[in-house]
Amino acid sequence: MSEPLLKVENLKKYFPVKRGIIEALRKVPVRYVRAVDGISFEIKRGEVLGLIGESGCGKTTAGRTVLRLIEPTAGRIVFDGTDITALSREELRPFRRRMQIIFQDPYSSLSPRMKIGDAIAHPLLVHGLAEKDEAKEIALKMLRRVGLTPEEEFYDRYPHHLSGGQRQRVVIARAMVLKPEFVVADEAVSMIDVSMRASILELLESFREEYNMSQLFITHDIAVGKLIADRIAVMYLGKIVEIGPTEEVLKNPAHPYTRALIQAVPSIARRKREKKLRITGEVPNAVNIPSGCRFHPRCPLADELCREREPELVEVEKNHFVACHHPLR
Amino acid sequence: MLLEVKNLSVYYYTLSGVVRGAEGISFSVREGEWITFVGESGSGKSTVAHAVMNLVPSPGRIVSGEVLFNGRNLLKLPGEELRKIRGKEMTMIFQDPMTSLDPLRTVGDQMVEAMTVHGVEEAEAKRKAKELLERVNLPGDRFNYYPHQLSGGQRQRVSIAIAMAFRPKLLIADEPTTALDVIVQDSIMDILNGMKEEGTSIYFVTHDISLAVERSDRIAVMYAGKLVEVGTVDQIVENPLHPYTKALIEAVPDLWKEGKVRAIPGYPPDLRSPPSGCRFHLRCPYAEAGLCNIEEPEFREVEKGHFVACHFPGVWRK
């Protein structure tokens, strides 16, 4: 089998919690938010890994740390055979072009004072890949490619002239203009109307085919994950609790948390609700992580073992891993 | 009938023109039912919800219509009378509870005030506030918290607890779960369902039609400022008659549906100059030139309780 394009090993990101002056004087030790607490995964060329979890689970930090937009606390990131974890800014530059990010909020990720055509041409100029005229031409083509036509007209518009769905198309065009090999899409459709999500996902899918592009697709919506991901990783409080092929994870979720997530998703096709695995409460704060299995305070199946020992990821089915003492089978 | 809305129109008088946010809207809400309004951003679903409370924000104005709540037209009621009804008999919760909670005062304080303002004794209000917090599954100590100390889901629970205080006849919930995670969303929906079981009519607003089907009795679909289809959940889901409703159902990512989702081509129109004829005709695969682009379809009852505004309802089945 070929080398994965991206390999992430035991990645950690801890953020120090600010101490007040009194705490500092009393030498109260600095505490840390363990946003990402040792995650490992691989993504092959052309593969989409869906990273699923609730707010506060660390999925966004994970995505940014992988791209080194946030510096990791520990662990290794290997991109196309090169360990990029410790590269300097200068050394990282050629990799930046090959790895892009699409943010959640199409309202704040575009400069309000830049014409959208110029915004799409901009990365080409920054990376010295095209002269001004050529960049403009490529940007026009890109506008057409993402469905913002007539492209000449759209080129001169400003973000505030566009709807949320149209802006997200611009954001995607801007990321795609460099023909990246890997993209982190962070809640790329969450702020868009449900009715528009399918068309944005289709657009991303078409770029994956054209560029053989890999994606880390971060979302809280497992139904969106189903549409786009080849494999799904479920994150809870900084850890991956389950990872496997999309179909397999959705049909036979092994972690109680995954099952709860699946059952909480509203659905038209499943009108009459099945019996639920009830979980209550919300994701705890990542400063005070529960002992043992992090999910045990909310888990209906938790026992003494779960409170004491943290479960490791083990393979329950081919390529399907779960970190649970009592996996559902 | 608890609520009857007749021929309601709301316009926004902006610097760049008059936005026809909602036009000619008529529907009713029965006692103890859950009705969900579904539509894309800009469809007017939130505008209508605010108009029912007579709370349309500037530069919006209700230009015509009646809102009859228990037979009384809220749009004609003097302010004092209206305030007696709002917050007590009918109440509203919003997508972002921070817009309705005061950041400088504790949760308990605000809950107590919401009751004393309608004449409840303070001691009684305090006792009741703690009971209400429990009912929305919040620990009693949250009484002394400030809103910023709570998560988004907990804040929404507080705003629901306040809304519950008087067992209102009508609760208008404007996208209350849109900013929340699915598990939290599910529990908020359960709480609203509990209110319904105690007799409160739920008027729910969402852009996500899949959220509508599990707990609603009826669904109302809005498009570009118009009501295009109203019916029971079964009628809307099993037998949609408006091409937009059909497209909306097919466009939703759904865990339990096999096969692909189908995106709706195009974008909703600019409501400063809405399309002539049927407002959906530009995006409609079944539109017929000479009719749909010229004549506006009438909103009419095609089977019992099932209303639609389309020249060719359910045409794809023929």
ipTM for the assembly: 0.86
Task: Give dist(CA A60, CA A53) in Å, integer.
Answer: 10
DSSP assignments along chain B, one per residue: --EEEEEEEEEEEETTEEEEEEEEEEEEE-TT-EEEEE--TTSSHHHHHHHHTT-PPTTEEEEEEEEEETTEETTTS-HHHHHHHBTTTEEEE-SSGGGTS-TTS-HHHHHHHHHHTTT--HHHHHHHHHHHHHHTT--GGGGG--GGGS-HHHHHHHHHHHHHTT--SEEEEESTTTTS-HHHHHHHHHHHHHHHHTT-EEEEEES-HHHHHHH-SEEEEEETTEEEEEEEHHHHHHS--SHHHHHHHHHS--TT--S---PPPS-PPPTTSPPSSSTTTTT-TT--TTTTTTSPPPEEEEETTEEEE-SSTTGGG-
Q: Choose, out of B15, B188, B193, B255, the residue to mutate when testing the contact with A (most A CBs < 10 Å).
A: B255
pLDDT confidence band for B205 (50 / 70 / 90): very high
Residue A170 host element (H or E):
helix A164-176
Asked whether the predicted pLDDT for residue A136 surpasses 70, the reply is yes
Query: What band does A276 get if pLDDT is binned at 50, 70 and 90?
Result: low
The pLDDT assigned to A106 comes to: 77
> Does residue A272 register a pLDDT over 70?
no
Query: How much is the average pLDDT of B33-53?
Result: 95
Report, as an integer, the average pLDDT of B79-107: 91
Chain A residues whose beta carbon lies within 8 Å of the beta carbon of residue B251: 194-198
On average, the pLDDT of chain B sits at: 94
- The CA distance from B203 to the nearest CA of chain A, in Å, is 18
> Of B23, B251, B80, whose CA–CA distance to A223 is shortest?
B251
Q: Which of residues 190-249 of B touch A (CB under 8 A)?
A: 207-211, 213-214, 237, 247-249
Domain range B3-77+206-317, CATH class: alpha beta
Beta strands across the sheet bearing A6-16:
A32-43, A6-16, A74-79, A82-83
- Which residue is associated with the tokens 């290794």? A76
Chain-wide mean pLDDT for chain A? 92
Question: How close does chain A come to B312, measured CA to CA in Å?
Answer: 22
- Smallest CA–CA distance from B41 into chain A, residue: A193
- Pull the structure tokens for residue B265: 């081509």
Confidence of residue B96 (pLDDT cuts 50, 70, 90): confident
Q: Are strands A48-52 and A231-236 parallel, antiparallel or unpaired?
A: parallel
Task: Provide the token pair at A112.
Answer: 């309000």
Q: Chain A interface, mutation test: which of B142, B182, B221, most A Cβ atoms within 10 Å?
A: B182
* Inter-residue contact A146 to A173 (CB < 8 Å): yes
Residue A152 predicted with pLDDT over 60: yes
Question: Residue B261: what pLDDT?
Answer: 87
Average pLDDT value for residue range B128-154: 91
Half-sphere CA count of A77, side-chain side, radius 13 A: 24
State whether B182 and A264 contact (CB < 8 Å).
yes
The predicted-structure confidence for A20-67, as pLDDT tens digits, reads as follows 888 888 888 888 999 999 999 999 999 999 999 998 899 999 999 999
Residue A274 has pLDDT above 70, yes or no: no
Chain A residues with CB under 8 Å of B256 CB are: 267, 269-270
Measured in Å, how far apart are chain B's first and last C-alpha atoms? 36
pLDDT tens per residue across span B212-267 = 998 999 999 999 999 999 999 999 999 999 999 999 999 999 998 887 888 888 88
Q: Could you tell me the residue ranges of all domains in chain B?
A: 3-77+206-317
A280 pLDDT higher than 80: no
* Interface residue A195 vs chain B (CB under 8 A): yes
